Amino acid sequence: MVKKCMYGILGALILISCLVAGCIGADQAGTSETIVIGGKPFNEQYILPQMIALLLEDEGYRTDIRPGMNDATLFAGIKRGQVDIYVEYTGTAYSQLLQREPLETWDPDLVFAEVRSGMAEEGIHVPFRLGFRNDYAIAVKESYATENNIETISDLVPYADTLVFGSDLVFHEREDGLPRLAEVYGLSFADVRPMSPTLMYEAIDKNQVQAIPPYTTDSRVDLYNLVVLRDDQAALPPYEAMLFIRSDRMADVRLINALSVLENRIDTDEMRALNAEFDNDKREARDIARDYLIREGLISS
């Protein structure tokens, strides 16, 4: 009985010491709650939540990743306190979530400022952008671009009436898609053929079409040796990746500091390369995220 009492007292003293010193995982992080991280159902949106989780876990937080959610579900979830953090895009937030009117010229900084102020009214803090954009774009084969010295959409205009455009199933009729490019640039193709995104890439590879509208972080841009043309008149909306955090989480300085290393960290080419590891190499999203963070010196091995 005396022995059990001594062990009990010793255990209590150790527990008190740990609490004071902050050596229990949840308390070390300053919270006993689990941080819920949302994600959408495509490549980079599986990788980025894992990056966020690994950075937080490195600080002692518990995390719960909830992947495969759509825009509306994530937005509702973060407003209701069911999701703490997720990666959103400026164009999506501006047009779909805040339902603001389209701009004549899409200034990325203006769009970000509008989103930031609008989301603050919804109880969502937008601390920073991650550095890359996942925009709709116009792409041609690298060989064609080199041969004709084409770098921008304006450069393509004189050639477009001899080319076939292979659209995905919506870009050719979206008001912020091909009709917008026709309005701003006077861009007009000889023919437009809507098809699934997979067939779109195969078609340009076989020269059945000569231009397509990929997303800028799509790994198939590199796989099929395409060049994304610069939107030199800012006709298309920007989709810059940014972090959404529940405003009541902003008081947790350790959490914010842990994530701040992602500010302007990943450019579009790098995100496309990480997506290629997921899409083409079939690597697990967590492994891709961990290797990237270790390579960048953001977490230890």
CB 35 within 8 A of CB 255: yes
pLDDT surpasses 80 at 3: no
Per-residue buried b or exposed e for 186-204, using 16+ beta carbons within 10 Å of the residue's own CB: ebebeebbebebeebbbbb
**Half-sphere exposure of residue 52, counting CA atoms within 13 Å on the CB side?**
28
What is the C-alpha to C-alpha distance for residues 98 and 75, in angstroms, rounded to an integer?
10
Element (H, E) at 31: none
Report the 3 state secondary structure along 65-132.
Answer: EECCCCHHHHHHHHHCCCCCEEEEEHHHHHHHHCCCCCCCCCCHHHHHHHHHHHHHCCCEECCCEEEE
What is the C-alpha to C-alpha distance for residues 52 and 298, in angstroms, rounded to an integer?
11
**pLDDT of amino acid 227:** 98
pLDDT in tens, 147-174: 999 999 999 999 999 999 999 999 999 9
Specify the fold of 138-229.
D-Maltodextrin-Binding Protein; domain 2 (3.40.190)
**Half-sphere exposure of residue 205, counting CA atoms within 13 Å on the CB side?**
12
**pLDDT of amino acid 32:** 60
* Architecture of the structural domain at 31-134+238-295: 3-Layer(aba) Sandwich (3.40)
Per-domain residue ranges of the chain = 31-134+238-295, 138-229
Tabulate helix, strand, coil % of the chain (nearest 5): 45, 15, 35
Please give the backbone phi and psi of residue 132, each rounded to the nearest 5 degrees, phi first. Answer: -110, 160
For the chain, give the mean pLDDT.
Answer: 91
CB 162 within 8 A of CB 283: no
Higher-confidence position of 300 and 80: 80
pLDDT in tens, 218-262: 999 999 999 999 999 999 999 999 999 999 999 999 999 999 999
Two domains, one topology: 31-134+238-295 and 138-229 = yes
What is the C-alpha to C-alpha distance for residues 279 and 301, in angstroms, rounded to an integer?
24
pLDDT in tens, 63-122: 999 999 999 999 999 999 999 999 999 999 999 999 999 999 999 999 999 999 999 999
What is the C-alpha to C-alpha distance for residues 259 and 53, in angstroms, rounded to an integer?
9
**pLDDT of amino acid 33:** 80
Enter the pTM of the model.
0.87
CB 171 within 8 A of CB 218: no
